[in-house]
Amino acid sequence: MKTVNAHGANIPQLGFGTFRMPEAEVLSILPKALATGFRHVDTAQIYENEAAVGEAIQTSGVARSEIFLTTKVWVANYGKDKFAASVEESLAKLRTDHVDLLLLHWPNDAVPLADQIGELNAVRERGLAKHIGVSNFNSTLMADAVRLSAAPLATNQVEYHPYLDQTKVLEAAATNSMALTAYYAMADGKVPKEAVLKEIGAAHHKSAAQVVLRWLIQQPDVVALTKTATEGRLAENLAIFDFALTPDEMARIHGLARPDGRIVSPDGLAPAWDQAA
């Protein structure tokens, strides 16, 4: 699989996400995802499935060294008294001595950003994470985080799909040589029903879902997360490296963005989002 290199973090362009996936489901589908060829696995403390992810990886037959593993520190653990201990707990659950990428999950004004970034750097210096980054940060917070961090930040993981213009975050990522990791690529089920995407897919003998995943990874330094509990869709999701979208098709997909396209914006967590360019 192709990778995106962001400050030395070689992130496989297509990842397997485990958001809202119960442990039993993780134990069922993740070994099959790894057997199919996925090598990038994304979880988080708040998903409450790190233990299942760790067990699935350990019993999968795929060497830990071949897997790019990401987890995220939950906002309640940002304080200096909890941060490192929460990461150590995550590693114990994940049955590993380090993650490849550790992210701050959401902004949290209750703890100074300098402290959050300082703790992130401290666990990296201890070898508990090879690379560090952020998630759900707007472009202003990205700039602040980069300025405050001794180590380079590898990515900002954000909602990104055809209905949401993320130009400003993409520009901020490019300015700082960061990757953008896209979640909610299927826009909560809207993508497979979109006529434009189905039409483009028909021209390439691909599904609308495959078209969007291709659209994402065809953009510079963009990584896409997929999620499925259906074994049959694993190979389909991976089959996006054997075709390319034309510049016109890319533009048509970008043209689907709309002002109300954002889906994920929880009260008390979401920052002041960047407005569409």
Tokens of 9: 């973090």
Amino acid at 28: S
Q: What angle do CA 268, 147, 141 make, to 5 degrees?
A: 20
The answer to whether 217 and 13 are in contact (CB under 8 A) is yes
- DSSP-derived secondary structure letter, 273: P
d(CA 115, CA 13): 30
Active site residue 184: no
d(CA 211, CA 194): 11
Catalytic residue among 47, 160, 163, 184: 47
- DSSP-derived secondary structure letter, 66: G
Question: Helix, strand or coil for residue 104?
Answer: strand
Tokens of 204: 């390439």
| Cα atoms found within 13 Å of the Cα of residue 241, Cβ hemisphere only | 10
Picking from 133, 191, 185, the residue whose alpha carbon sits closest to that of residue 160 is 185
- Active site residue ranges: 47
